[in-house]
Amino acid sequence: MYIPSSTYRIQTSSEFPLKKIESILNYLDTLGVSTIYSAPFFQASAGSTHGYDVVNPHQIGEGIGTEETMVAIAKELKSRNMSWLQDIVPNHMAFSVQNPWMKSVLELGSHSPYYSFFDIDWIREDDELYGKVMMPFLGSSPEEVLSHHELTLAYDEEGFYFKYYDNKFPLSAPSYYTLLDRQVESLRNQKASEEIVGRFLQVLATLEKWSTDEIPEHPAESWEQVKKDLFQLNADSKAVGKMIQQVLDETNRDLTTLKKLLAQQNFQLTYWKDTESRINYRRFFTVNDLICLNIQEPEVFQKYHRYIKELVDRGLVQGLRVDHIDGLFDPTQYLEQLRELVGPEVYLVVEKILEEKEKIPAKWPIQGTSGYEFLALVSQLFTQRKEKEKLAELYESVASDLPSYKDLVFQNKMFILLNRMNGELDNLMSLLKKLDIVPYQDTAEEDEKMRQALAHLLAAFPVYRVYSNQYPFSDPDMAIIGKAFTQAEKKAPSLSSYFQRLREIFNGVADRDEQQNENRLYFVMRCQQFTGPLAAKGVEDTTFYEYNLLISHNEVGDTPTVMGIKADVFHERAVSRPPHSINTTATHDTKRGEDARLRINFLSEIPEEWESHYQRWKDMNQVFLTEQAGKFWPDENDEYFLYQTLIGTYPLHITPEQDNYQERLMDYMVKAVREAKRNTSWSNPNEAYEKAVTTFVEKILNHAPFIEALTPFVTKVAEKASVYSLGQILLKVTLPGIPDVYQGTEFWDLSMVDPDNRRPVNYELRMNMLEDLRRQIKSDSLSLVKKLREDLINPALKLFTLHLCLQARRQRHEFFLEADYQPIRLEGEYSRNVIAFRRQYQDQQILVVVPRHVGDLPVEDGQFPLGEKAWGDTRLVLQENEAGTWTNIFTKEEVDLSKQNHISQILKEFFIAFLIKS
C-alpha cells in the first residue's frame, strides 16, 4: 500500500482542470507534497464548482480534462514518487436530466435499467405520487406555473420534454404515442412523401407498443433508437418538422391537454418548498437536486464503481476518499465491498465527523478519516481554558435569550426535522407501520404521539449514527442508543410509553421471529440514514451560526462548549490517532480558514481586552444599525458574530486573493444570518433584515474611526496567532497521521465558508516566493529566520515553515509511519504554555516543541515569544536517550539537550522547534 507522506487538496473543476494541476506538480513536489488529493473529477452538473453533483461516474468531466491528461499526470507523479488520492461520492448523484441514469428513469419508468438505482419510494399511499418521483424544481405551484405559461412542451434531438426556464423534463415513452397517434393525416396534409409517411408509421408502431406495455426485448436500446429515428425524420422532412411544431403549439395553447400530458409522466413537478412537508425520494441533507443511490444493492455498487476500479487498476489512482459515509444504508458492508473491489493496496479514508471521544468502528477496512477530529484537537490546544467563564459571561450579556448550547442543538434539530425534513419523518412513520414491528392502534392520536416520540429520538442522537448491521448490536452502539433514549425521554416524558415501544425495536437483541428481526433491523438502519443529515443541518448549518461564544470552535468535528484542553488530554488523543488517518486543518467544508480560526482563538487569552474593544466598537457603530419596529438590525448576536469574523478574516497583508474583502464579507454575512434562521433563512428570506446587515457591514468598513480602532487590535491578535499557525503546521506534520494542505493555505488562510474558501489560488506568487525562500535557506537559514520573524504577518513565514516541515517529513516517510509517540514532561514557571513530545523508530528520533497560551508570557514587543525573558526557567525533563545533540530544521543550529534543555535555549531564534537527533 502506498501511504502518502502528505496530501494536497485541490478543488478540481473546470476552473482548475487537470492541465493546471499538471502545471503545478513541480511546485508541489518542491514544496514537499507527496500526494494530490482531488475533489471529485467525474462528469458533474454543468457549471459545477465542487464536483459532488455527479451525473456520470464513468468519465472524467468534460471541462476538467481527458484520460490522456490523467495518464500523463500519473506518469509524472510516478517519476516523482508521488501519488493521487481521489474523492468519490457513492451516496448521491445530481437529480437532473444531465444524469443519463435519471433521464432513463424519467422516460422509461419501471422499464429503465436504472429504475431501482435511486432511493425512491414509488409505491406511495399518496395517490398523486404513486408510481412517480417527486421533482421539486418549480418556483411556485404547478397551477401558477402553468397559468403563467412558464412550463411548455418542447422538442429537440433528445426528444420531447417540458421546458421550464433552463430546466428540461423528458416525457415518458408512452406519452409520445399520445402526442403523435393522430398525426399521419397531418403529415399527408403537409404533402409528405409516402416514404416519409411509411417511416413515420414504423416509428408510430414502436411507440404504440410502449403505450400498451408491449415493451421491446431491450427497452433502453429500443427507446434510444426510436427517438433517433424520429429526430432523423424531423431532419429529413420539413413536413415532419411542421407536424411536430403543430403538436407543440396545439398542446401549449390548451392547458387542459398540457395537464393531461403532465399526468402521464413518471414524475410529479412540484414547488421546491413542498419537500419541507412531503417527499418520496432520499436526498443529500435537504438539497433537492441531489438524489441518493441504493448503493447497498450489488448491481448499483458494481455499476457505479466500474470506472473507479478501472482508474485504480490502471495505476492512475492510488487512494480513495469516500464522501459522506454516514449517508449509506450499511457503511460497514459498503467499505468491505469497496476494499474487496479495489484490493488491499489502495489507501482508503472516509469522510466521517467524529464527536468528542467517538471512534471509527475497528472492523472498517480503512486507514482512517479525512481528519475533522484532528482539526478540532489542534484548535482546542490553542484555546485558553482558564478564561472560559469570562467569555461566557460576556456572551451571556450579548445573547441572554438563547437557551443552553445542548438545548439549542436539540431545539434546532427538532426544527429541521419538523420544518425542513417533515416529509422524511412521515416516510419513516409510514415504514414503521408497514413493517408492523411495534404494537400500534391506527388512529390519528396514536399516529401523532408515535411520530413525536420518533422525532424526539432522532433529534436526541448524540452522534451522527450507529453502524451495527446485525444482532446483537455492539456495546458502543447500544451505549449511544441508550443516551438517545434518555435525552428523548427527558425532553418528552409524557411520551414514555411510546419510547418504550421504540426501545423494543432499537434494543439490539434478536427475536425468535426471523422476519421481525429483519424488519426491526431494517428500520433501525433506515433511521440512521437520517440522523446524520439531521445533525448536519441542525448543528453545523444552524446552531454553529447562532451560538457565538467563540466562533472558532463552531467547526465540523469540534464542540463549541469545550474551551481548551489540558496537555495530558492532548497527548492521549494524539497517541490514539490512527497512524494513517489524515491530519487536516482546512477543507472545502470548514466554516473558516485555518489561520482565521487561530486568530479568533486568541480572544480566549485576552477576554477583558476583547470585551473592552467589543463594547467600544458596538457603541461606535450603533449609528449604523437599522431601526425596525422598535428593534435594531443586525441584532446583537449577529453583530457579535460579525466582530469575531472581522478579527479572524480582516486582511493585513494584502495579496491578490484578498481583493474585494467588503463584498466577500457582505455575501458571507447574508449566508451566516440565513443559516442561523433567527431573523431570515434560505427558505423564507427577510430581505429587509439582510439589507440592514449588508448596509451595516458597508458602513463600518468605510468608517475611518472604526478601522483605526480595529486595525491595531487585529494586528496584535494576528501577530500572536501567527505563532499558533506555525505550531499548527508543525503538529499537523509530526503527530501520528498524514498531514494535509488545503489548496492555497501555504499562505495565511483567512477565508470564510464556501464559496469563499474555493476562490482561485495564485500559484505563480507561491512558486516565486518558494524559490526565493529556497535560495535563502541554502545560503543562510538562520539569517532568513531572523529576517522572517521581524514581520509576523508576512505569508513567507508560513510558507517557509510548511516547506521545511513537509520536506523533513517526506525524507523520513517510513519513520513517521512507524514511530511511537512519547510526551515530554516540562517543569518551570511556564510549563503549561508548552507542548513537547518525542517520536522514535529504531535508532531515529525527532523532538517537537510548540508554544501555546503565549498571551501569558511577560514579553516585550519584538521579543515575542523568544529568549529567556519569555520563558524563564521553563525546561524539558529528559530521559537519558533524549539527551545529546539535535539539529533544528529551521535554523540548522545544533542543540545539545543535555546542556540546553531550557525552552529559552531551544526557542532562542524561532518560535517552534523541530529537532532531529544527530
pLDDT in tens, 299-319: 999 999 999 999 999 999 999
Cβ pair 543, 536 in contact under 8 A: no
The CA angle 162-166-168, to the nearest 5 degrees, is 30
Rounded Cα–Cα distance for residues 529 and 524 (Å): 9
Q: How confident is the model at residue 539 (pLDDT cuts 50, 70, 90)?
A: very high
Q: How confident is the model at residue 747 (pLDDT cuts 50, 70, 90)?
A: very high
DSSP per-residue letters across 427-492: HHHHHHHHHT-S----SHHHHHHHHHHHHHHHHH-SSS-----SSSPPHHHHHHHHHHHHHHHHH-
CA–CA distances in Å: residue 818 to residues 470, 655, 756, 814, 835 = 35, 40, 38, 6, 21
Global pTM?
0.96
Cβ pair 60, 67 in contact under 8 A: yes
Q: Phi/psi zone of residue 555: left (φ > 0), alpha (ψ -120 to 50 degrees), beta?
A: beta
Q: Which long-range contacts (CB under 8 A, 24 or more apart) does 120-129 make?
A: 120/280, 120/281, 120/282, 120/291, 121/280, 121/281, 121/427, 122/280, 124/280, 125/430, 126/278, 126/280, 128/268, 129/268, 129/278, 129/280
Chain position carrying cell 531564534: 909
Q: Each residue of 13-36: pLDDT tens digit?
A: 999 999 999 999 999 999 999 999
Cβ pair 73, 22 in contact under 8 A: yes
The secondary structure of residue 138, as a DSSP letter, is: E
The secondary structure of residue 85, as a DSSP letter, is: E
- Residue 44 bridge partners (DSSP): 54
Q: Is the pLDDT of residue 263 over 80?
A: yes
Rounded Cα–Cα distance for residues 102 and 661 (Å): 40
Going by C-alpha positions, the residue among 727, 716, 738, 707 that lies closest to residue 836 is 727
Q: How confident is the model at residue 124 (pLDDT cuts 50, 70, 90)?
A: confident
Q: What is the pLDDT of residue 860?
A: 62
Cα dihedral sign for 795, 798, 800, 802? negative
Rounded to a whole number of angstroms, the CA Rg of the chain reads 30
CA–CA distances in Å: residue 679 to residues 135, 252, 371, 396, 687 = 29, 42, 33, 19, 10
Which residue stretches of 735-824 are H helix?
A: 763-788, 795-811, 813-818
Coil, strand, or helix at residue 108? helix
Q: How confident is the model at residue 882 (pLDDT cuts 50, 70, 90)?
A: confident
CA 774 to chain centre: 35
Burial status of residue 159 (CB atoms within 10 A of its CB: 0-12, 13-18, 19 or more): buried
Q: How confident is the model at residue 863 (pLDDT cuts 50, 70, 90)?
A: low
Grid cell of 474 as nine digits: 455492539
Q: How confident is the model at residue 918 (pLDDT cuts 50, 70, 90)?
A: confident
Rounded Cα–Cα distance for residues 114 and 223 (Å): 14
Q: Is the pLDDT of residue 864 over 90?
A: no
Chain position carrying cell 490517532: 577
Going by C-alpha positions, the residue among 38, 30, 42 that lies closest to residue 93 is 42
Convert 268-329 into a string of H (helix), E (strand) and C (coil).
EEEEHHHHHCCCCECEECCEEEEEEECCCCHHHHHHHCHHHHHHHHCCCCCEEEECCHHHCC
Q: What is the pLDDT of residue 170?
A: 98
Q: Is the pLDDT of residue 702 over 90?
A: yes
876's enclosing H/E stretch is: strand 875-877
The CA angle 351-486-411, to the nearest 5 degrees, is 65
Q: Each residue of 478-491: pLDDT tens digit?
A: 999 999 999 999 99
Within a 13 Å sphere around the CA of 497, how many CA atoms are in the beta-carbon half? 5
Q: Each residue of 195-204: pLDDT tens digit?
A: 999 999 999 9
Q: Each residue of 93-117: pLDDT tens digit?
A: 999 999 999 999 999 999 999 999 9
Q: How confident is the model at residue 624 (pLDDT cuts 50, 70, 90)?
A: very high
- Average confidence (pLDDT) over 284-301: 98
Q: How confident is the model at residue 849 (pLDDT cuts 50, 70, 90)?
A: very high
Q: What is the pLDDT of residue 250?
A: 96
Q: Each residue of 786-798: pLDDT tens digit?
A: 999 999 999 999 9
Burial status of residue 407 (CB atoms within 10 A of its CB: 0-12, 13-18, 19 or more): exposed
Q: Is the pLDDT of residue 536 over 90?
A: yes
Q: What is the pLDDT of residue 203?
A: 95
- Average confidence (pLDDT) over 347-367: 94
Which residues make Cβ contacts (< 8 Å) with residue 734, sequence separation at least 6? 805, 809, 816, 839, 846, 848, 914
Q: How confident is the model at residue 658 (pLDDT cuts 50, 70, 90)?
A: low
Q: What is the pLDDT of residue 861?
A: 56
Which residue stretches of 493-651 are H helix?
A: 496-506, 514-535, 544-546, 567-575, 594-601, 607-621, 636-649
Q: How confident is the model at residue 862 (pLDDT cuts 50, 70, 90)?
A: low
- Average confidence (pLDDT) over 32-59: 97
Cβ pair 879, 906 in contact under 8 A: no
Q: How confident is the model at residue 748 (pLDDT cuts 50, 70, 90)?
A: very high
Rounded Cα–Cα distance for residues 834 and 284 (Å): 43
Position with higher pLDDT, 52 vs 355: 52
Q: What is the pLDDT of residue 441?
A: 81
Q: Is the pLDDT of residue 659 over 70?
A: yes
- Letter string b/e over residues 690-726, b meaning 16 or more CB atoms within 10 A of that residue's CB: bebbbbbbeebbebeebeebbeebbeebbbbbbbbbb
Which residues make Cβ contacts (< 8 Å) with residue 789, sequence separation at least 6? 797, 866, 909, 910, 911
CA end-to-end distance (rounded Å), the chain: 30
* Mean pLDDT rounded to a whole number for the chain: 95
CA–CA distances in Å: residue 103 to residues 96, 114, 568 = 7, 9, 56
DSSP per-residue letters across 27-70: HHHHHT--EEEEPP-EEESTT-SSS-SEEEEEEE-TTT--HHHH
Coil, strand, or helix at residue 682? coil
Q: What is the pLDDT of residue 488?
A: 98
Grid cell of 214 as nine digits: 408491449
Q: Phi/psi zone of residue 635: left (φ > 0), alpha (ψ -120 to 50 degrees), beta?
A: beta
Q: What is the pLDDT of residue 657?
A: 67
Cβ pair 324, 91 in contact under 8 A: yes
Q: Is the pLDDT of residue 354 over 80?
A: yes
DSSP per-residue letters across 610-639: HHHHHHHHHHHHGGGSEEETTEEES-HHHH
Going by C-alpha positions, the residue among 440, 534, 555, 522 that lies closest to residue 484 is 534
Q: Is the pLDDT of residue 577 over 70?
A: yes
DSSP per-residue letters across 689-732: HHHHHHHHHHHHHT-HHHHHHHHHHHHHHHHHHHHHHHHHHHHH
